[in-house]
Amino acid sequence: MTPADQLNPPAALGVEIAVALCGLWLFWKFVLSPRAPKPEIRLPEWGLPPIDFACYAFFAIVGFLALSAAAGLVLRHVRLGEDATKVLGGAVQDIGLLLGIFGFHQFYCRVGRSSAARAPIGPAIKSGAVTFFIAMLLVDVSIILWSFALSSLGLPMENQEFVDIAQNTNSTWLKGSLMAIAVILAPVAEEIVFRGGLFRYFRTRIPRWWAIGLTSFLFGSLHVSWDSSLVGLPSFAPMVVLAVIFCLAYERTGSLGTVVVAHALFNSYTFVLVAAGLRS
């Protein structure tokens, strides 16, 4: 793959068109075609008692807060630039979530263990790639419509901070760190929490589309700074659409690996386009 900082805009535009066409073909084949396979739900119910789910959330939050606080104390004695501090902070938050959930499974291994099917890596990569291409088609449509709505209403169009860093930094170390977080750490942490945790728990306890909608809305909301600046607002609707697709893919495959792969592909693809100057 051509490095992001060496990918010229015409080549990147060609890749974006190819991804959209591939997504359109797969959307027809698996969703719209009369021969499309009938949707089948393979994700079993997560029989976790409410009190244990509360413990699950508690462990995740404590891991997030504790590691963030510890990192904050350390960073007081370390001289880092503003961008490097933000990148490190994002990584620490994801790691804290994962440590908290790991701690939960250590204490509640019997009830905390997933009953969902554990798919081999090959099928997970294949289904994850299909999910990615279909998601990109629908996310791109949502980006166009949401951007038009924001412009018409005169609302802020400020990007997420990490997007600005990826576009503006000249540091190879910082770009590499961002790429590692986007492709490995964030997909694993976010899919375990949102799809493997929140959605899997609520999908059989409240109406199905409420579970999909509420967890997807929360996922999109966490990509926006809800203060007067509204930084990241352009990402809200596209992230909600992405989360809905991931919920459906997870439900139909029963494999968390599918959405982790799709999320990693989405982040890496977006990172390349942002670094190439084709996406903001």
Q: What letter does residue 198 receive in the DSSP assignment?
A: I
pLDDT of residue 279: 64
Residues 109 and 122 in one domain: no
Residue 3 within a domain: no
Residue 5 within a domain: no
CA atoms within 13 A on the CB side of 155: 17
Residues 94 and 152 in one domain: no
Task: Find the largest Cα–Cα distance for the chain.
Answer: 63
Distance CA 22, CA 13 (A): 14
For residue 209, what are its two tokens? 């589309």
Report residue 68 CA to chain centroid gap. Answer: 20
Residues 244 and 274 in one domain: yes
- CA distances to 146, 159, 241, 248, 269 from 234, rounded to whole Å, are 7, 7, 13, 23, 18
Residue 248 within a domain: yes
Average pLDDT over residues 194-209: 96
Distance CA 157, CA 4 (A): 24
Q: Domain range spanning residue 105?
A: 47-113
pLDDT of residue 79: 77
Q: What are the pLDDT digits (tens) for 148-172?
A: 999 999 998 888 888 878 777 788 8
Q: What is the pTM of this model?
A: 0.90
Q: What are the pLDDT digits (tens) for 88-131?
A: 888 999 999 999 999 998 887 654 444 444 557 889 999 999 99
For residue 1, what are its two tokens? 């793959």
Counted domains in the chain:
2
Q: What are the pLDDT digits (tens) for 44-98?
A: 999 889 999 999 999 999 999 999 999 888 878 887 888 888 888 889 999 999 9
* AA letter at 208: R
Residues 54 and 186 in one domain: no
Residues 174 and 62 in one domain: no
Residues 200 and 273 in one domain: yes
